[in-house]
Amino acid sequence: MATADRLHTPADAEYVERCLGRRPRAAFTVAARDGDGRPTVIENPPFLDDGTPMPTRFWLVDPELNRRIGRLEQARGVDRAEAEIGLDRLSEVHAAYAAERDALIPPDRVGPRPSGGVGGTRVGVKCLHTHYASFLAGNDDPVGQWVRDQLDHEEHQ
């Protein structure tokens, strides 16, 4: 159940649509906001409105953060993060993420289900954006923390 501070306003919905470049394909809540109160991360349900499984619970919508993390990925950030965090710890993160998502699915639900961990990944790191979104949403995500550290370092150079 979404708490009042996570529900989105019509202005939030318009902002998210502009950031995504399309209408969201499912109802969402706001999992994190920036200093000005704009949505930074949205939380998606396990299924899109059309019933398609949605493995990515937390979606980074902030345009500037998306650009900065894209540059980090271009600089081999995915490989670096994976090497520094390690596959054992990443397996734990993926398992916790999947368990939280799967707990939102009614046990009697039939048909395809979302799978994988952060961003649908089963092993390693696929996308720094999804890990950072999960981290900003308050989850224990060492890759998200690694991204935060890299962004902070970039700001201070």
Work out the pLDDT band at 5, boundaries 50, 70, 90.
low
- Are the CB atoms for 14 and 24 separated by under 8 Å? no
Q: Which residues contact 85 (CB under 8 A, 6 or more apart)?
A: 125, 142, 143, 146
The pTM assigned to this predicted structure is 0.93
The β-bridge relationship of strands 58-60 and 39-43 is antiparallel
Give tens-digit pLDDT for 30-70: 999 999 999 999 999 999 999 999 989 999 999 999 999 99
Of 93, 89, 98, nearest to 56 by C-alpha is 98
pLDDT tens digits, one per residue of 120-151: 998 999 999 999 999 999 999 999 999 999 99
Render pLDDT for 7-37 as a digit per residue (tens, 0 to 9). 788 999 999 999 999 999 999 999 999 999 9
Helices and strands in the chain, H and E counts: 6, 3
Q: Does position 1 have pLDDT exceeding 60, yes or no?
A: no
Query: Residue 2 above 70 pLDDT?
Result: no
